[in-house]
Structure 1
Amino acid sequence: QVRGVREGAVVAVGTAADALRPGLVITAEFRGPDEAGARAELVSRVASQCGLVPADVRFVAPGTLPRTSSGKLRRLAVKQELEVTRG
């Protein structure tokens, strides 16, 4: 667990090869004073556990990641929103 990152509220999606920053993007609900420290720790953990260095880490306010009616994270919706905002 990373301080400030809400457990169970993290989505990892791949971006298209022709995207501005292709690769893995992490979107996580975050609340805390040390955004830079949390970002660095997330990158480090993903790199050490998965062997991939995320192209980007985005933090959003708690409760804002899209979920299904049963509470599961809607990864496709996160990816689509990412593609729209990043062009």
Structure 2
Amino acid sequence: VIKTFIIIVVLAGFNPLHGGKDLMIFPNKFETIEACLEYAKENRDPLFFKTWEFYGVQPIENIYCINEEKLKGLDIRPNT
């Protein structure tokens, strides 16, 4: 089984409208956690800017690389 990893940028703070944190999931897929982390490190600013385009400028809590299969098990709902 080939694992794929994706990047998630999590904004700091709590969103009272939905009771959780705002985050941005990027569609880029990586075959290793190392490749994902390297891309996230090298492209930190563009990832932040893309997140801010959607949410407005807010503090960033962290950038994560997560196994795509594990993402499916998390309680993440689209921002509508």
- The TM-score normalised by the length of structure 2 is 0.39
- The TM-score normalised by the length of structure 1 is 0.37
Structure scoring higher RCO (CA < 8 A, sep ≥ 6) equals 2
